[in-house]
Amino acid sequence: MARLEPIAPGALTDEQRKLHETMLEGIRKNLKGFVTEREDGALVGPFPAMLHFPKLGTAAWSVFTALSEVSTLPKPAHEIAILVTGARMHSRYELYSHEVVAQQAGLEQAKIATITAGNRPADLSRDEGIAYDVASVLSAGGQLQESTYQQALSAFGERGCAELFYLIGCYQMISTLLNAYDVSVPGR
């Protein structure tokens, strides 16, 4: 059981309602194939933590939205970075949701399973391998080595590298919220 209860739409304050509506629009547009709300309309996953503290939640949602709407990274590389971060953080809901999104992005189930188990698949493409290596180092709190940075720069450009770094940081934050509030996989 999560430490913060999801908030049914009828119980939201005006400030929470505004954020809820914004989040619901983005969730329905970008996050498909996994549970994000209860039958009563209350959002689940990382979203209750954002709604309970709407000033912080609005800022967090803004970063998440920017990364969803202006992505230039190849979708498989994007999802690999998220899976590596979720696996490193042992974030159950993060892995549950992004296993689905990674499959939708075209990643094979074997790659997804290997990454979520904390290992590097042997058959990653160049872009996938770079995303894996960058996410592995940064999500562990390490300093990105120059050779890895240069590979990422060559593959994704400055804009793509910035997106990758922000993506990893954003999903570390989301995983931290999920872990702090003990958010599990829906129905389990």
Phi and psi at residue 138, to the nearest 5°: -70, -35
Count of beta carbons in the 10 Å neighbourhood of residue 158 = 9
**Largest Cα–Cα distance in the chain?**
52
Distance separating alpha carbons of residues 151 and 148, to the nearest angstrom: 5
Q: Give pTM, 2 decimals.
A: 0.95
* pLDDT at residue 139 in the model: 97
Q: What is the mean pLDDT of residues 80-95?
A: 97
Q: Using one digit for the tens of pLDDT, what is the confidence trace for 31-81? A: 889 999 999 999 999 999 999 999 999 999 999 999 988 889 999 999 999
HEC states along 15-56? HHHHHHHHHHHHHHHHCCCCCCECCCCCECCCHHHHHHCHHH
Distance separating alpha carbons of residues 94 and 101, to the nearest angstrom: 10
What DSSP designation does 145 have?
Answer: P
Q: Using one digit for the tens of pLDDT, what is the confidence trace for 12-23? A: 999 999 999 999
- Among 1.10.1060, 1.20.1290, 2.40.50, 1.10.287, name the CATH number for the domain at 75-180: 1.20.1290
- Every domain of the chain and the residues it spans: 9-69, 75-180
